[in-house]
């Protein structure tokens, strides 16, 4: 019997994600740390899913 993948955590809105991404780049002259770059990648991936419409809006 096939197993179902665990449910994804609820995704944030594009506006929320954009705000978080902008906050990471708060000072353009200061490079991101390795941890911040990882978080940036996760936020961008989540934003792409939201923009593609892979998210079902909560009731």
Provide the token pair at 11.
């995704």
pLDDT value, residue 36: 93
Per-residue pLDDT of the chain (59 residues), as tens digits, is: 567 766 566 568 999 999 999 999 888 788 999 999 999 999 999 999 988 886 555 55
Residue 33 structure tokens:
């740390």
Q: What is the pTM of this model?
A: 0.68
34 within some domain:
yes
Residue 4 inside a domain? The answer is no
Please report whether residue 5 resides in a domain: no
- How far apart are the C-alpha atoms of 40 and 50, rounded to whole Å? 15
Domain that holds residue 46: 14-52
- Gap between the Cα atoms of 29 and 40, Å rounded: 17
Domain count, the chain: 1
Within a domain: 43: yes
Distance CA 18, CA 59 (A): 23
Q: Which of 21, 25, 27 is nearest to 51 (CA)?
A: 21
């Amino acid at each position: 019997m096939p197993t179902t993948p665990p449910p994804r955590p609820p995704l944030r809105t594009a506006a929320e994600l954009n705000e978080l991404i902008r906050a990471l780049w708060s000072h353009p002259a200061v490079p991101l740390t390795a941890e911040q770059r990882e978080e940036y990648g996760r936020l961008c991936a989540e934003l792409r899913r939201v923009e593609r419409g892979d998210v079902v809006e909560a009731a």
